[in-house]
């Protein structure tokens, strides 16, 4: 029923043609797959086993265990519930997404949650994946416990691993998902190895998403970037002033050495050694000062960065214009449909009004004939007769008078009706 409702909604939105059949859509195939997934279950009272032989070891795997592992695929129902009841997919947000040319689906809700609360979402996925893959590993590796425990060979008994405990299985999955692999637990059956390999790939994906989320969380916003650049340049300016003071101080030291030589306070050899030492320090400090000044003289953004930001802004503006044009096109189509329906209904209304006018004329004609026949056989009309008032109204409307009847003519009509009533009462006592 859910797939059929989506099919009807797609037809109303004109996403698919009205002549298209439900059996030829992708939704029908998804429905069949979903029916098959939910049809598979572990029936009670049936405990068949499958004999498996691998690496010179024979063991039995229960059919119920295999079906139970397959039933884990029903985890997608939780994702669907998340998409249906998420705050990102309510009616208001769905309207906004449609206006901007996207769909408020389950994937959109997951992406939004990953943007807003990445650590919470990834931690929940990691714990849920550990539980699911741990259960599947236990179902496939548990039959080997008894084989290794009852083996008469000492090397096989030494390879015994306790997979009866679900915590050991979850520990194995955590080691596989984080690609650590201590080696204290490892899968030995082919189905168990397949589960661990799948969990390893899924764990690499989760860990990479965790790294990306941390990178996004530590990434500066536009305002934070500007504030950081200003604070950084202020600190550089303070460092520039300190180095300028050091250069000046070192230049004064060189001058003092020259002054000592001129006043013959030091000899020629000592003068050369001290001046060489001071000039070396002066050259190093001057180079640092020039580097700081050159860095501060550069613009905040390089020309390449400015061009890149301009390109990004142009692309963003073009995407916004594209979505707005798409929304306007849909609105134009909707208004055209409404105009066609109004013209269609207007024809019906005009035809109904025409029939109403014809019926009104026929009623007036029939009322006039009925009045004449009544006067011919019974005399004047009685004043309290509904027919008289109706005929009077009909006669007034027939003459085309749209105004109100004058007060004098209305009084005269009332007196004539009263006299006619008296005459009728004398002639017909009943």
Report pLDDT digits (tens) over 279-333.
888 888 888 888 888 877 776 666 776 777 788 888 888 888 888 888 888 888 8
pLDDT beyond 60 at 408: no
The CA distance from 396 to 416, in Å, is 17
* β-bridge partners, 57: 54
Pinpoint the alpha helices (H) of 53-165: 63-70, 76-85, 91-99, 106-116, 118-141, 143-149, 154-158
Residue 62 sits at φ, ψ, to 5 deg, of: -75, 140
Q: Quote the distance between the C-alpha of residue 1 and its chain's center.
A: 23
And the tokens for 288? 């640092």
* Confidence bin at 379 (pLDDT 50/70/90): low
- Residue 38 is inside which H or E element, if any? helix 26-39
The CA distance from 309 to 307, in Å, is 5
What is the CA angle 354-355-357, rounded to 5? 65
Q: Output the pLDDT for position 156.
A: 63
And the tokens for 147? 């084989």
Average pLDDT estimate for 394-408: 41
pLDDT beyond 80 at 124: yes
* β-bridge partners, 58: 53
* Confidence bin at 410 (pLDDT 50/70/90): very low
* Confidence bin at 129 (pLDDT 50/70/90): very high
The CA distance from 418 to 430, in Å, is 17
Average pLDDT estimate for 351-370: 81
The CA distance from 153 to 132, in Å, is 34
And the tokens for 407? 């007060």
The CA distance from 405 to 413, in Å, is 11
The CA distance from 389 to 371, in Å, is 11
pLDDT beyond 70 at 361: yes
pLDDT digits (tens, 9 = 90+) for 54-83: 776 777 788 888 888 888 888 888 888 888
Range from 112-126, 132-146, 264-278, 319-333 carrying the lowest mean pLDDT: 264-278
Q: Output the pLDDT for position 150.
A: 66
The CA distance from 301 to 161, in Å, is 60
Range from 74-83, 200-209, 212-221 carrying the lowest mean pLDDT: 212-221
Q: Output the pLDDT for position 64.
A: 83
pTM: 0.54
Residue 230 sits at φ, ψ, to 5 deg, of: -65, -45
pLDDT beyond 80 at 370: no
User: What residues have CB less than 8 Å from 145, skipping those under 6 apart?
Assistant: 160, 161, 162, 163, 164
Shortest CA distance to 161 belongs to which of 169, 170, 152? 169
More confident residue, 391 or 311: 311
Rg (CA), the chain: 47
The CB density around residue 137, as the number of other CB atoms within 10 Å, is 28
Q: Is the CB of residue 102 less than 8 Å from the CB of residue 189?
A: no
* Confidence bin at 198 (pLDDT 50/70/90): very high
The CA distance from 340 to 126, in Å, is 55
Burial degree of 400 (CB within 10 A; 0-12, 13-18, 19+): exposed
The CA distance from 106 to 202, in Å, is 19
């Amino acid at each position: 029923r859910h797939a059929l409702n989506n099919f009807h909604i797609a037809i109303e939105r004109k996403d698919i043609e009205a002549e298209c059949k439900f059996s030829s859509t992708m939704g029908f195939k998804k429905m069949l797959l979903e029916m098959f997934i939910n049809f598979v279950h572990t029936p009670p009272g049936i405990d068949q086993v499958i004999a498996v032989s691998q690496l010179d070891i024979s063991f039995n795997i229960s059919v119920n265990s295999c079906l139970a592992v397959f039933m884990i695929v029903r985890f997608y129902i939780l994702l669907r519930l998340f998409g249906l009841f998420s705050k990102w997919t309510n009616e208001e947000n769905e309207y906004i997404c449609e206006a901007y040319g996207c769909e408020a689906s389950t994937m959109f809700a997951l992406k939004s949650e990953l943007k807003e609360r990445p650590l919470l979402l990834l931690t929940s996925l990691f714990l849920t994946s550990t539980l699911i893959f741990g259960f599947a590993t236990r179902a496939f590796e548990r039959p080997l416990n008894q084989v290794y425990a009852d083996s008469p060979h000492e090397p096989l008994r030494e390879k015994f691993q306790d997979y009866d405990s679900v915590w050991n299985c979850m520990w194995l999955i955590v080691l596989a998902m984080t690609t650590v692999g201590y080696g204290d637990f490892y899968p030995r059956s082919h189905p168990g190895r397949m589960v661990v390999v799948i969990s390893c790939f899924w764990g690499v994906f989760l860990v990479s998403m965790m790294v990306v989320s941390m990178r996004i969380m530590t990434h500066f916003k536009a305002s934070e970037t500007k504030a950081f650049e200003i604070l950084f340049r202020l600190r550089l300016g303070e460092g520039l002033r300190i180095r300028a003071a050091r250069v000046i101080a070192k230049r004064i030291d060189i001058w003092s050495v020259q002054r000592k030589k001129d006043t013959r306070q030091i000899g020629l050899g000592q003068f050369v050694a001290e001046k060489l030492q001071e000039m070396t320090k002066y050259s190093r400090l001057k180079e640092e000062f020039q580097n700081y000044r050159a860095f501060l003289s550069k613009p905040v953004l390089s020309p390449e960065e400015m061009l890149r930001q301009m390109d990004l802004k142009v692309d963003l503006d073009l995407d916004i214009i594209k979505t707005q044009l798409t929304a306007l096109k849909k609105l134009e189509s909707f208004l055209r449909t409404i105009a066609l329906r109004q013209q269609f209904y207007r024809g019906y209304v005009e035809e109904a009004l025409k029939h109403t006018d014809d019926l009104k004329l026929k009623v007036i004609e029939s009322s006039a004939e009925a009045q004449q026949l009544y006067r011919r056989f019974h005399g004047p009309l009685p004043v309290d007769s509904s027919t008289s008032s109706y005929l009077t109204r009909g006669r007034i409307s027939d003459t085309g008078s749209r105004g109100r009847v004058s007060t004098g003519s209305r009084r005269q009509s009332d007196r004539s009706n009263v006299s006619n009533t008296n005459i009728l009462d004398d002639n017909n006592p009943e």
